[in-house]
Every structure is written in C-alpha cells, then in structure tokens.
C-alpha cells in the first residue's frame, strides 16, 4: 500500500468571543513577531481596529493586506508582501476567499497559517486544500493544513444565513463523496481510509440530524456546523487528499462554475450535485434534499439561477474536470439526455 502524509492543525479554539484570545493563541503556537493578516475590505472595516488592538497590546505587530478575489495573482501579491515585511506567520481572517488565498500564499513561502473564519460557508476552514482561480484547473489544490484554527461563533453567527446554508451543502456532499471514494477502492484499487471516510460522514449526518435547529440560525446550530466543517477538513488531512470530502458532486459543481460563472455558492452547487449523484449511486436522495430545504439551502436549478440545459451540460462535463478521480460519473458516463432525465427525476429541474 502506498504512503501518504497526515497533516492536521496543531491547535483549534472554538467559542463565543474567542477573537479576544488571538494573541495568546499565536503565542501558544510559538508565534511572536510580525503577523500578516489577509482579509477582505468588509471584514477589515468591521474588525480591523479590534484585531489590531488585540495584537499590539500583546507585542504582536499586524501587517494588513486586503484581497478582492481568490486568484493566483492575489496569492502572488500576498507572497511578495509577506517577504517584504518579513512576517513570521499568515492569518487568514474572513470568508473562504481570504482563508484560501492566505493558505496557499503561506504554503508557498513556508510560513505557518492561522485560519480565523468569519463565516461557515465551506470546509476550507481546516482542510489542506485551497480553491484558487487562475490555476490550470478549476478545483481545489492540496497545500498545507492551517497550523491553528480560531473560530469565534459570535462573528460567524452574524454572517449572512446563506453562507451557513452553503456550508451545510458542502457537508452533505460528503455522503456522495465517500460513496465515490469507496467505489474507486473497489473498482480501481485506490487507497481508501475507513477512519477518514467515517469522520467525513459523521459531519454530514450531523447536518441531517440537526437540520431544523441549523435552519433557525441560532448559536448552537452555527457552532455545530462550524465544528462539523472543521472535522471534515481534518478528515481530508487524515486521508492525505480531498477524497473524503469531494466526489462527483464537486466535479459537477466545478463544471457548473465554468458553464455558468457566479451561479450559486460552492456549497450550494455541491449540495444540488449531491442530490443528483446520490440518485445515480442508487441511493435515496430525499434525505439530502430534505436536509437542504430545512437549512434553507437551494435544491433546484431555478433557485441558483441556472437553466436545465446548464445543469445537464455540467453533469456531462464533470468527469473531464478530473479524469483521474474515479467516481460514479466516470463509470456511468452520462450523455445529455440521461443527465437531463436524472435532474428531472430528482426535482433539480
């Protein structure tokens, strides 16, 4: 059996008001000096002075950099700033865009990353993957796991409810991702890690069990989703790949992003993809559909502003996104008519 490295966060802090512990959190990780904080303009406007005061009062020097999009150009700009400022660590403060840019930049310059999410929209909070546009591929790339994750529930609960619902879609997608991973093991002798798979499924099942509470957008539901997203990211770290978190439903999502750019958040399109892929896998997809509805996530093409034709085209294109990643979509090879039929049977169109 082949070898793979397991890389996990060293320290994780989750709770209400824990942003005030950021300086001590850095010190506990042995980080003392100049810290590059990568964030968006909105988060900096709302939190910049608070975070600066927290750090400077404890002898840390923050260097702020704002990013507008998760692109390779932004990653390179952050790397240059980190080198110029001679920082000892990078903090990704904000949503998926800021954390992903910070993560890849920190990986490239071999600096530790601290993930400080302000929303719970996808599992990049703790995973060793970064989704960056401008690469030669539309899917996430493997980099380094965050050294630490600090998740302040008070901040995250105030993020738009749509972002939380998107995070739930990404979690429910683990059901079909693990099924595809096992298929690749059975038919292609690919490495399959039962523990990592079980951990990913545990996160998905949490959403199904607590969907009603999560849909109310209260503190307990939000905290549960945050912990589930962190756990899913850890599963990827244990597996040494995105396999327990990303299968045919993610390939559909990436294909749809090429066909209909800007249509739906990542977790939203993964959730819709999971409905259809689950049906193709011979499973009952109603559990996924019901959970998505309860957490107020979209379950139809119309809700994310795409046409039936675009859904069908994305299903057909999906296997070509990653030809080497064997999934049910690779095995069954849908044509346009069968893809359209699948989408209709599952109520997506």
Which pLDDT belongs to residue 52?
A: 94
Which pLDDT belongs to residue 141?
A: 80
Give domain 11-157's CATH architecture: 3-Layer(aba) Sandwich (3.40)
Rounded Cα–Cα distance for residues 349 and 342 (Å): 9
- Write the pLDDT tens digit of every residue in 179-189: 999 999 999 99
Among 57-71, 217-231, 243-257, the least confident range: 57-71
Which pLDDT belongs to residue 6?
A: 85
Average pLDDT (77-93) is 94
- Write the pLDDT tens digit of every residue in 24-50: 999 999 998 899 999 999 999 999 999
Q: Is there a contact between 78 and 104 (Cβ–Cβ < 8 Å)?
A: no
> What torsion do the CA atoms of 322, 323, 327, 331 make, to the nearest 10 degrees?
150
User: What SS3 class is residue 159?
Assistant: coil
Specify the DSSP element, H or E, that contains 204.
helix 194-209
The tokens for 59 are 């002898």
Which pLDDT belongs to residue 139?
A: 66
Q: Is there a contact between 318 and 245 (Cβ–Cβ < 8 Å)?
A: no
Among 249, 266, 224, smallest CA distance to 318 is for 249
On the question of pLDDT at 341 being above 70, the answer is yes
Exposed/middle/buried for residue 325 (C-beta within 10 Å: 0-12, 13-18, 19+): buried
Which pLDDT belongs to residue 256?
A: 97
Rounded Cα–Cα distance for residues 123 and 142 (Å): 13
Average pLDDT (320-340) is 96
On the question of pLDDT at 127 being above 80, the answer is yes
Average pLDDT (255-259) is 95
On the question of pLDDT at 300 being above 70, the answer is yes
How is the chain split into domains, by residue range? 11-157, 161-345
On the question of pLDDT at 1 being above 70, the answer is no
> Can you state the angle between helices 72-85 and 96-108, rounded to 10 degrees?
60
Strand arrangement, sheet containing 34-39: 11-15, 148-152, 113-117, 89-94, 34-39, 61-66
Q: Is there a contact between 116 and 150 (Cβ–Cβ < 8 Å)?
A: yes
pLDDT band at 137; cut points 50, 70, 90: low
pTM: 0.93
Specify the DSSP element, H or E, that contains 46.
helix 41-56
CATH code reported for the domain at 161-345? 1.20.1090.10
Average pLDDT (148-169) is 96
Cα 244 → chain centroid: 12
- Write the pLDDT tens digit of every residue in 198-225: 999 999 999 999 999 999 999 999 999 9
Task: Name 39's Cβ contacts closer than 8 Å, sequence gap at least 6.
Answer: 47, 48, 64, 65, 66, 67, 92, 93, 94, 98
Could you identify the residue written with the tokens 């809700």?
303
Percent of the chain with pLDDT over 90: 87
Specify the DSSP element, H or E, that contains 78.
helix 72-85
Which pLDDT belongs to residue 45?
A: 94
Average pLDDT (296-316) is 98
Task: Name 318's Cβ contacts closer than 8 Å, sequence gap at least 6.
Answer: 248, 251, 252, 254, 255, 327, 329
pLDDT band at 7; cut points 50, 70, 90: confident
- pLDDT averaged over the chain? 94
């Amino acid at each position: 059996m082949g070898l793979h490295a397991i890389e996990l966060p060293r320290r994780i802090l989750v709770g209400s008001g824990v942003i005030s512990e950021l300086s001590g959190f850095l010190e506990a990780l042995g980080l003392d000096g100049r810290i590059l904080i990568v964030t968006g303009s909105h988060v900096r406007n709302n939190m910049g002075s608070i975070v600066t005061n927290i750090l400077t009062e404890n002898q840390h020097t923050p260097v702020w950099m704002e990013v507008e999009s998760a692109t390779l150009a932004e990653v390179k700009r952050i790397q240059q700033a980190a080198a110029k400022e001679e920082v000892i660590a990078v903090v990704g403060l904000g949503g998926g865009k800021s954390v992903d840019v910070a993560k890849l930049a920190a990986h490239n310059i071999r600096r530790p990353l601290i993930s400080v999410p302000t929303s719970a929209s996808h599992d990049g909070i703790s995973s060793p993957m970064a989704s960056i546009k401008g690469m030669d591929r539309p899917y996430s790339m493997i980099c380094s796991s965050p050294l630490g994750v600090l998740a302040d529930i008070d901040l995250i609960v105030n993020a738009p409810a749509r972002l939380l619902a998107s995070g739930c879609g990404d979690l429910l997608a683990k059901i079909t991702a693990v099924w595809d991973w096992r298929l690749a093991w059975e038919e292609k002798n690919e490495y399959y890690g039962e523990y990592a798979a079980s951990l990913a499924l545990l996160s998905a099942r949490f959403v199904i069990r607590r969907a009603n509470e999560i849909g109310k957008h209260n503190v307990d539901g939000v905290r549960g989703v945050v912990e589930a997203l962190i756990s899913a990211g850890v599963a990827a770290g244990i597996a040494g790949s995105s396999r327990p978190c990303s299968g045919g439903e993610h390939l559909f999502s990436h294909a749809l992003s090429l066909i209909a750019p800007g249509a739906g958040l990542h977790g939203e399109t993964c959730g819709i993809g999971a409905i259809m892929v689950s049906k193709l896998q011979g499973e009952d997809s109603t559990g996924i559909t019901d959970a998505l509805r309860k957490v107020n996530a979209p379950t139809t093409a119309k809700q994310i502003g795409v046409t039936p034709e675009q859904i069908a085209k994305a299903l057909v294109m999906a296997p070509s996104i990653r030809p080497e990643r064997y999934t049910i979509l690779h095995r069954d090879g849908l044509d346009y008519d069968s893809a359209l039929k699948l989408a209709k049977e599952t109520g997506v169109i």
